[in-house]
Structure 1
Amino acid sequence: MSNDAFPGWHGTTIIGVRKDGRVTVAGDGQVSMGQTVMKGTARKVRRLTPGGADVVVGFAGSTADAFTLVERLEGKLEAAPGQLARACVELAKDWRTDKYLQKLEAMLIVTDGTDLLVVTGAGDVLEPEQGVAAIGSGGNYALAAARALMDTDRTAEDIARRAMAIAADICVYTNTNLTVETIEAKA
């Protein structure tokens, strides 16, 4: 993720894994500026309960930008209870068309246990193939590792944790201090 104002800032790694009626979202805790680790214990995966519904969100990119987007998503979810895809599409439309929001640099992985979605500032709301989504600087490493593990008997959480460990071994902007949230599919 590139930001001209802060060219030395690098993102994080967030992964979402859907398997056997559960979705696990995991994110590392590292915040880097250039070659310096500024913080190793950031919490980039959150559980939201707008209107009593459980939703898990993981974010990569600028933390302040991501918090702004998560707050907006909560509002969209309150306006459309139980309709995660609709709320994400509405957020993506606002993000793409609002002059203030257009400048935000972040990406989100969002799940309610049934849907697993990636929301971007380009107006995309993507449902990943093979039940795995990953974003951030180590996202491709975690994605490849998780896809390789999907055919095993590991749980969604086990796959997410192992994929994050592999990404942390490869990506210098990813650490092993994880925040992990698992949510079950709605009945």
Structure 2
Amino acid sequence: MSNPLDFRGTTILAVRKDGKTAIAGDGQVTLGNTVVKHTAQKVRKIYHDKIVVGFAGATADALNLFDKFEGKLEQYNGNLTRAAVELARDWRTDKYLRKLEAMMIAVDDQRMFLISGNGDIIEPDEGVIGIGSGGAFAQAAATGLIRHSDLDASAIAKAAMDVAASICIYTNQVVTLHEI
């Protein structure tokens, strides 16, 4: 059972269409049943602005993983696949890291990965993946828009995040969006 005083809730979504990838994250941070921040930055460009990472989960855990992932990218010269594999391996085998409760989406101009503490590195089939409390809502909306609209990746990500915010109480409409 989670502690009611844990910082919770977010939605991160990555969409790839027509050679462009957009990754979006909402800005809401919730403590128990109270919104304590509306404009958190959970999506960031890293490694010379060539990689975008979004994170969900316990805030301190997510920031810790973000820092470790950035170190792996430096160590492996920006190779996203290798850095993701090494982070997932460390995350799964290290006693301290194993206890961290967070997930990440990392994208570059070629690849898109969900990285979890279970050692999972998942590359989606359809070029869309969502994590966090509203991730499934955003992913479903984005998948429908990819299949049935002419919108570009950024417009799809923004529209899908709006859908998630209208359904998920832990997601708001203050969205940070980066495109590669």
**TM more than 0.5:** yes
Given residue 113 of structure 1, which amino acid in structure 2 is its aligned partner? D
Residue among 139, 151, 154 paired with 1:154: 151
2:61 matches 1:29: no
Question: What SS does structure 2 have at the residue aligned with 1:32?
Answer: strand
Given residue 29 of structure 2, which amino acid in structure 1 is its aligned partner? V
How far apart are 1:8 and its partner, in Å? 5.1
How far apart are 1:4 and its partner, in Å? 3.2
On the 8 A contact 1:53/1:81 being kept in 2, the answer is no
Moved more, 77-86 or 57-66: 77-86
| Large movers: runs of 4+ above 6 Å | none
2:166 aligns with 169
How far apart are 1:5 and its partner, in Å? 4.2
How far apart are 1:155 and its partner, in Å? 0.4
Alignment of 1:76-91 (within 5 A): 76-91=72-87
2:11 aligns with 13
Alignment size in residue pairs:
179
Structure 1 residue ranges without an equivalent (≥5) = none
State TM-score, norm by structure 1: 0.91
State TM-score, norm by structure 2: 0.95
Given residue 46 of structure 2, which amino acid in structure 1 is its aligned partner? L
Q: Which whole-Å CA distance do the structure 1 matches of 2:4 and 2:81 have between them?
A: 32
Q: Which whole-Å CA distance do the structure 2 matches of 1:177 and 1:164 have between them?
A: 9
On the 8 A contact 1:53/1:82 being kept in 2, the answer is no
Cα pair distance change 1:157/1:53, threshold 3 Å: closer
2:127 aligns with 131
RMSD (Å), alpha carbons: 1.4
On the 8 A contact 1:40/1:175 being kept in 2, the answer is yes
